[in-house]
Amino acid sequence: MVIIINISDIYIFIPELYLTLTVFILLIYGIFYSTNKYYGYPILSKNFGYLVVITFTYILFLIINTPDFLSTYFPSFFFFNNSLKWIKTIFLLVGICYVFLVISNISLEKLNVFEFFLLFILSILSIFLIISTFDLLSIYISLEMLNLIFYVLATIRRTSEFSTEAGLKYFILGVFSTGLLLFGIALIYGCIGITNFIDLSLFFQSIMKEKSILEIPTDLLLGLVFISTAFFFKLSAAPFHMWSPDVYEGTLTSIITLFIIFTKITIFFLFINLFGTSLFELFNVWQKLTLICAFFSLFLGTFIAFAQTKFKRFLAYSSINHVGFIMIAVSSINYNGFYSLIFYMMIYILINLGIFASLLSLRNFRNYKFNHQIRYISEFTILSKTHPIIAFSILIILFSISGIPPIAGFFTKLIVFLTCLKSSLYSLVIFAITISCLATFYYIRIIKIIYFDNCNVWLIYVPMDKSKAFVLSFSVLLLTFFCLNPNLIINSIYIISTIN
Amino acid sequence: MVSAWSGALFGLAVQLMSNALQKLPLMRRPWEHVLFAAGGAFVGHKLGDLEVELTQRIEAHRANQKRPGS
């Protein structure tokens, strides 16, 4: 096959090209300076962090100034439209916030490798490719690019046994899910010889006019099941969630932030992109799969989280619970599912930025050389006495996750439930509300530990730095005062999801 | 005007809370308060305009959907 690249393709592709070029230039810069005896082998991690912020700001302007149009490029492997422009903008803004969160932890966690930020830029590049993918083959390539970066990031602390174990677990199970994805794609291609999204959509529209769902070849349905299973693996939706608590426990907190915020949101966009458009005619099949996973995610995410004592494992199960709620929104996509999904994810990003800003700043201070991240939930006991404002911020964030009104988290769950009711999924709504009430218990348990438990050990925390304080205050205030004027966010999400 | 004032208040609140989180006096580095309030007012003003524009687009879209034959 001869691939013809037009000049207009490159014009749309400029942000991605710029990111690639930046990685090359920064790599050369990093290698030259960090190995230079004349400059005293400088540690460039912080310097790279600020360079990443400058790069992202420049790309932000590039994306915002891209004209509004709908197009496919690189012979229909990728697409571009107005919604994508805004979604990329959100990813870049979150990326900038992420750099501000981790920039001071790099030296605290002794992660003095400049390659960390290069891998982060590459992960943003692959996220851009994933969300604009328009072909089954480009899904595989861009998703693998992201996964390879994350395998490296999971094991970036090479001297730590926990990190190596986590990375290896992530790699083996990730490769297994990629195998499933590739097998699913191969089955679909083997059956109908199509990989492009528009061609798939047209094919299923024509076939569903003539045949019922029972008459569709089994290989095709099996391919669909394999692809969706691979996505559920990547999302760590139950019952395919077993890797995530172990991997999160062994990985550095600053890298878990990347996994929880970026991976899940990207895969959900991809899921919507593939299943909501080209495989929409097979809605009855994939809706059932999504509902089964949503049920298990809600159930296991809630009940296993009760037993957790370590904060990272607790966060892993909490995120599985959230995946359940997002999947409910996905399964009612025929009405306003996409709208409620984007809304849920926006607030999910804000909540997670707040959680990780507070978690990354809470380091148990013993002396200047040795301080470590808090690991256990019970280590929060002293927080309300020593850091009342951080304790209050965590309280607001936990209220928001558990969906207590009038904080933003309540509205996200409300919109998901309303969407579900419109799709007549009444029993699921009753189940989800019950689970939501039960899940509130384990979030409130942390608040109880912070405010009411007696402290046996006095911990001294490292003071919070400016960038984390800014991100935390921004997210907490936005979550709290969201209810005063929710129209702007709700309207813009409506525009992104419905009109564009 | 209301949105600009709300933005300014939000910017100021972010800076105050940021200082409180760092356990600094609330009015430490007052030029940053001014900067945040001004930035917040600018963003708030722009978002106010954007909100009006979005509402008009949504109303036009809904009217278009209700039109028979569209």
Q: What gap in Å lies between CA A187 and CA A181, rounded to an integer? A: 10
The C-alpha atoms of residue A271 and residue A279 are separated, in whole angstroms, by 10
Tell me whether residues B18 and A470 touch, CB distance under 8 A. Answer: yes
* CA proximity to A280, closest of A233, A333, A228: A333
Closest CA to A491 of A273, A343, A344, A350: A343
Are A481 and B10 an interchain contact pair (Cβ–Cβ within 8 Å)?
Answer: yes
Cα–Cα distance for residue pair A251/A241, rounded to 1 Å: 16
**Residue A368 predicted with pLDDT over 60:** no
Q: What is the pLDDT of residue B16?
A: 94
Q: Which residues of A touch B32 (CB under 8 A)?
A: none
Q: Which residue of B has its CA nearest to A358?
A: B21
Sign of CA dihedral A346, A348, A354, A357: negative
Which residues does chain B have within 8 Å of residue A468's beta carbon, measured at their own beta carbons?
21
Spell B34-66 as b/e; 16+ CB within 10 A means b.
Answer: eebbebbbebbbebbeebeebeebbeeeeeeee
Describe the crossing of helices A82-102 and A115-131 by its angle, rounded to 10 degrees.
160
Largest CA distance in chain A: 74
CA closest to B2 among chain A residues = A485
Mean pLDDT score across all residues of chain A? 85
| CA closest to A388 among chain B residues | B21
Q: Pairing between strand A71-73 and A363-365? A: unpaired
Picking from B15, B20, B23, the nearest residue to A463 by CB comes out as B23
Q: What pLDDT score does A74 carry?
A: 67
Task: Quote the minimal CA–CA distance from A226 to chain B in Å.
Answer: 37
Mean pLDDT, all residues of chain B: 84
Collapsing DSSP to helix, strand or coil, A288 comes out as helix
* Smallest Cα distance from B61 to chain A, Å: 7
User: Cα distance from B50 to chain A (closest Cα, Å)?
Assistant: 8
Give residues with Cβ within 8 angstroms of A276, minimum separation 6: A333, A337, A338
**Mean pLDDT calculated for residue range A116-124:** 93
Between CA A119 and CA A106 the distance in angstroms is 14
pLDDT in tens, B10-22: 999 999 999 999 8
Which two tokens mark A197?
């999204």
Determine whether the interchain pair A488/B14 forms a contact, defined as Cβ–Cβ distance below 8 Å: no
Residue A465 CA to residue B23 CA, distance in Å, equals 10
Q: Which residues of A touch B21 (CB under 8 A)?
A: 389-390, 393, 464, 468-469, 472-473
Answer yes or no: do B51 and A491 touch at CB < 8 A. yes
Q: What is the pLDDT of residue A50?
A: 92
Q: 3-class SS at A373? A: strand
Per-residue b or e along A320-356, where b marks 16 or more CB atoms closer than 10 Å to that residue's CB: bbbbbbbbbbbbbbeebbbbbbbbbbbbbbbbbbbbb
Domain limits, chain A:
1-133, 134-281, 332-500
Nearest to A497 by CA among B54, B63, B64, B69: B54
pLDDT in tens, A165-183: 888 999 999 999 999 999 9
Q: Which residues of B touch A (CB under 8 A)?
A: 6, 10, 13-15, 17-23, 47, 50-51, 54-55, 57-58, 61
Q: Kindly determine whether residue B61 and residue A464, on different chains, have CB atoms separated by under 8 Å.
A: no
Q: Structure tokens of A463?
A: 């003071």
pLDDT at residue A483 greater than cutoff 80: no
Handedness of CA A364, A370, A372, A377 (dihedral sign): negative
The length of chain A, given as a count of residues: 500
**CA A121 – CA A458 distance, rounded (Å):** 40
Q: Which residues of A touch B58 (CB under 8 A)?
A: 491, 494-495, 499
CB A76 within 8 A of CB A1: no
- Which pLDDT score, from 0 to 100, does residue A371 have? 65
Q: How far is CA A295 from the centre of its chain?
A: 20
Q: Which residue has the higher pLDDT, A82 or A185?
A: A185
Asked if residue A372 has pLDDT above 80, the reply is no
- Any long-range contacts for B50-56 (C-beta under 8 Å, 24+ apart)? B50/A488, B50/A492, B51/A487, B51/A488, B51/A491, B51/B3, B54/A488, B54/A491, B54/A492, B54/A494, B54/A495, B55/A487, B55/A491
Name the closest residue on chain B to residue A393, using Cα atoms: B21
Highest average pLDDT, of A361-365, A375-379, B10-14, comes from B10-14
Alpha-carbon separation of residue A177 from A228, A234, A235 (angstroms):
10, 7, 11
- Residue A212's pLDDT is 74
* DSSP-derived 3-state class of residue A78: strand
Per-residue model confidence as pLDDT tens digits over A226-239:
999 999 999 989 88
Strands annotated E in A371-453: 371-373
Q: Do A487 and B47 touch (CB under 8 A)?
A: no
| pLDDT at residue B70 tops 50 | no
pTM for this predicted structure: 0.90
Q: Flag if B17 and A389 touch (Cβ within 8 Å).
A: yes
Tens of pLDDT, residue by residue over A201-214, are: 888 888 877 777 77
B17 to A477: CB separation less than 8 angstroms, yes or no: yes
B52 Cα to chain A: minimum distance (Å) = 9
How much is the CA Rg of chain A, to the nearest whole Å? 23
Whether the pLDDT of residue A2 is over 80: the answer is: no
Q: Taking CB atoms and an 8 Å limit, are A472 and B21 in contact across chains? A: yes
Residue of chain A with shortest Cα separation from B19: A469
Reported as a single tens digit per residue, the pLDDT across A152-164 is 998 888 888 888 8
Cβ pair A477:B50 closer than 8 A: no
- Radius of gyration for the alpha carbons in chain B, expressed in angstroms and rounded: 19
Q: If residue A80 lies in a helix (H) or strand (E), which one and from where to where?
A: strand A78-80
Q: Which residues neighbour A218 within 8 Å (Cβ) at sequence distance 6 or greater?
A: none
Instruction: Please report which confidence band the pLDDT of residue A453 belongs to, taking 50, 70 and 90 as the band edges.
Output: confident
Cβ <8 Å between B50 and A469? no
| Pick from A393, A469, A491: CB nearest B55 | A491
Least CB–CB distance from A466: residue in B20, B22, B50: B22
pLDDT of residue A184: 93
Interface of A with B (CB under 8 A): 387, 389-390, 393, 463-466, 468-470, 472-474, 476-477, 481, 484-485, 487-488, 491-492, 494-495, 498-499
Task: Report chain B residues whose CB lies below 8 A from the CB of A473.
Answer: 13-15, 17-18, 21
Contact pairs from chain A to chain B, CB under 8 Å: 60
Q: What is the 3-state secondary structure (H, E, C) of A126-173?
A: HHHHHHCECEHHHHHHHHHHHHHHHHHHHCCCCCCHHHHHHHHHHHHH
The answer to whether the Cβ–Cβ distance between B21 and A494 falls below 8 Å is no
Q: Could you give the angle at the alpha carbon of A110 between the alpha carbons of A158 and A379, nearest 5°?
A: 100
CA–CA distance, A314 with A101 (Å, rounded to integer):
21
* pLDDT higher than 60, residue A499: no
Q: Which percentage of chain A shows pLDDT scores above 70?
A: 90
pLDDT bucket at B69, cuts 50 / 70 / 90? very low
Question: C-alpha angle with apex A149: A144 to A152, nearest 5 degrees?
Answer: 125
